Amino acid sequence: MLNGLKNAFRIKELREKILFTIAMLVVYRIGAHVPVPGIPFQGMLGLFSTDNNSVAAGAMALLNLFSGGALSYVSVFSLGIMPYITSSIILQMLQAVVPSLHELAREGEVGQTKITQYSRYLTLALAILNSVGYLFLFKSFGISFNGAGAPEIIFDLMIVGTLTAGAMLIMWIGELITQRGIGNGMSLIIFANIMAGLPQAIFSSTEGNAGGIITMVIICAIILLVIPLIVFLERGQRRIPVSYAKRVVGRRMMGGQTTYLPIKVNTAGVVPIIFASALLYFPAQIAVFFPGIGWIQAVASALSTGWLNWVLNVVLIVFFAYFYTSMVFNPDDTADNLKKQGGFIPGVRPGRATAAYIKNALNKITLPSAVFLALIAIVPSIIFSFTGNHLIQAFGGTSILIMVGVVLDTVDKLEGQIKMYDYDGFFK
CB–CB of 28/270 below 8 Å?
no
- Check whether 178 has a pLDDT greater than 60: yes
229-239 residue pLDDT tens: 888 888 888 88
Contacts from 332-338 at CB under 8 Å and sequence distance 24+?
334/261, 334/358, 338/242, 338/261
Phi/psi for 346 (5° steps) reads -55, 125
Q: What is the mean pLDDT of the chain?
A: 78
For residue 164, which of 76, 46, 232 has the smallest C-alpha distance?
Answer: 76
Q: What pLDDT does residue 428 have?
A: 56
Confidence check: pLDDT of 124 > 90 = yes
Rounded to 5 degrees, φ, ψ at 225 are -80, -30
Q: Give the pLDDT mean for 340-363.
A: 86
Cα gap 331→328, rounded to integer Å: 10
Per residue in 183-229, pLDDT (tens digit) is: 888 888 888 887 877 777 677 666 655 556 777 777 778 778 888 88
Q: What is the mean pLDDT of residues 74-93?
A: 82
Per-residue pLDDT at 342 = 77
Residue 54 has a pLDDT of 47
Highest average pLDDT, of 7-11, 36-40, 163-167, comes from: 163-167
| Amino acid at position 180, single letter | R
The better pLDDT of the pair 303, 263 is held by: 263
Q: What is the mean pLDDT of residues 108-121?
A: 86
pTM assigned to the model: 0.76
Q: Which DSSP state fits 47?
A: T
Q: Is residue 3 scored above 50 in pLDDT?
A: yes
Domain layout of the chain by residue ranges: 2-419
- At residue 121, the pLDDT reads 92
CA nearest to 329, candidates 370, 362, 372, 357: 362
CATH of domain 2-419: 1.10.3370.10
Per DSSP, which regions of 237-354 are E strands? 237-244, 247-249, 252-254, 258-264, 343-344
User: Residue 83 has what pLDDT?
Assistant: 86
Checking if the pLDDT of 310 tops 80, the result is: yes
How many helices (H) and strands (E) the chain has is answered by 17, 5
What b-and-e string marks burial along 400-421, b requiring 16 or more CB atoms within 10 Å of the CB? Answer: bbbbbbbbebbbeebbebbeee
Indicate the pLDDT class of residue 53, thresholds 50, 70 and 90. Answer: very low
At 360-396, the pLDDT tens digits run: 988 888 888 888 888 887 887 777 777 766 666 666 6
